[in-house]
């Protein structure tokens, strides 16, 4: 008998993260692995979702759905303040304080990435301004790819059981992956050995045709925090390694996994009672 999926009454998160009571949702006799596989979610779900939300803000979420609130939105993310005792936040924050002098989204991204580039305990840690800038735009490409698939889900939304499994961020290892990213950013030396041993783990053990084969290329399947391990971008050759690593993180199956998670989180009442 599979373990019940826990969905929190507080902000829609599992009680382990939200700190509130949880109610069991019993998806019949099917396990979450089977339910998610039936919803075309891949075995890289935890990795793909954690990578997609580790740096997300409410301003970014509003590109998916316009009315996302600044508090209690239920999309966990890594705390940009690397000094904080709270390494993972239960909900993505609002960061745009209106102080940026720039009018276009692109220049506001540049402003946000470079304003605190000297603070090695903020954002992605001990990296250069150029690395932070590349990372910021890389994440926006991931979100743009996921947004197209998010919109497609409106016509064929995940069912309630699939969403219950997707939202169980403790049981499906999304929270574990977020904690690993946070640990990597705060203490890269301590986290590196654990991360390298787990990087190729498939949480649900199901295969997918759009997944790049494990071990393909020197930079295959690196995690988001691993971009820092590539070193500074000082030459075209350095950039080629960065580009290859980021390309591995933008498989369409990964961005669909992210879209499913965000759709379930931001549209809890819209899930249909199928799957």
DSSP state string for 95-140: ---S-----SHHHHHHHHHHHTTT-TTBTTSS--HHHHHHHHHHHH
- For range 155-179, the mean pLDDT: 94
pLDDT exceeds cutoff 70 at 213: no
Residue 141 lies in a domain: yes
pLDDT at 6: 33
pLDDT at 182: 93
pLDDT at 148: 94
Q: Where are the beta strands (DSSP E) in the chain?
A: 5-8, 22-25, 77-78, 88-89
Q: Is the four-CA dihedral 82, 86, 88, 91 of positive or negative sign?
A: negative
- For range 107-126, the mean pLDDT: 92
Residue 169 lies in a domain: yes
Compute CA distances 61 → 109, 255, 258, whole Å: 15, 14, 12
Q: Which three-class secondary structure state does DSSP give residue 6?
A: strand
Cβ–Cβ < 8 Å for 273, 160: yes
Residue 202 lies in a domain: yes
pLDDT exceeds cutoff 60 at 275: no
Give the number of domains in the chain: 1
- For range 226-243, the mean pLDDT: 80
pLDDT exceeds cutoff 60 at 223: no
Confidence at 25, pLDDT banded by 50, 70, 90:
very low
pLDDT at 270: 55
- For range 28-56, the mean pLDDT: 88
Residue 16 lies in a domain: yes
- For range 92-100, the mean pLDDT: 88
Q: What would the 3-class secondary structure string for 11-25 be?
A: CCCCHHHHCCCEEEE
Residue 203 lies in a domain: yes
- For range 227-248, the mean pLDDT: 80
What tens digit of pLDDT does each residue of 50-62 get?
Answer: 999 999 999 999 9
pLDDT at 90: 96
Residue 275 lies in a domain: no
pLDDT at 240: 92
Confidence at 7, pLDDT banded by 50, 70, 90:
very low
Q: Which of 72-76, 140-144, 213-217 has the lowest mean pLDDT?
A: 213-217
Residue 163 lies in a domain: yes
pLDDT exceeds cutoff 50 at 190: no
Q: What is the DSSP letter of 36?
A: H
pLDDT exceeds cutoff 90 at 82: yes
What tens digit of pLDDT does each residue of 252-271 get?
Answer: 668 999 999 999 999 976 55
Domain extent for 187? 5-270
Q: Nearest CA to 124 among 85, 71, 182?
A: 182
């Amino acid at each position: 008998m599979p373990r019940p999926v826990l969905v929190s009454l507080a902000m829609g998160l599992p009680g382990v993260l939200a700190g509130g009571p949880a109610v069991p949702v019993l998806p019949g006799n099917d396990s979450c692995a089977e339910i998610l596989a039936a919803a075309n979610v891949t075995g890289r779900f935890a990795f793909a979702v954690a990578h997609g939300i580790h740096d997300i803000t409410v301003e970014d979420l509003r590109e998916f759905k316009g009315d996302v609130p600044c508090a209690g939105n239920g999309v966990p993310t890594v705390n940009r303040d690397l000094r904080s005792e709270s390494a993972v936040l239960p909900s993505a924050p609002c960061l745009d304080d209106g102080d940026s002098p720039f009018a276009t989204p692109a220049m506001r991204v540049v402003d946000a990435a470079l304003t605190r580039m000297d603070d090695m305990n903020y954002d992605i840690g001990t990296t250069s301004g150029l690395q932070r800038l590349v990372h910021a735009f890389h994440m926006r490409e991931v979100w743009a790819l996921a947004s197209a698939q998010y919109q497609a889900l409106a016509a064929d939304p995940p069912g309630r059981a699939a969403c219950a499994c997707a939202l169980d961020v403790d049981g499906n290892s999304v929270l574990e992956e977020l904690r690993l990213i946070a640990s990597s950013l705060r203490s890269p030396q301590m986290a590196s050995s654990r991360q390298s041993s787990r990087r190729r783990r498939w949480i649900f053990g199901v295969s997918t045709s759009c997944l790049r084969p494990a071990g393909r290329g020197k930079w295959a399947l690196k995690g988001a925090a691993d971009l820092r391990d590539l070193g500074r971008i000082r030459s075209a050759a350095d950039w080629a390694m960065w580009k290859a690593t980021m390309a591995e993180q933008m498989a369409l199956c990964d961005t669909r996994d992210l879209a499913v998670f965000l759709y379930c989180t931001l549209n809890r009442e819209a899930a249909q009672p199928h799957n």
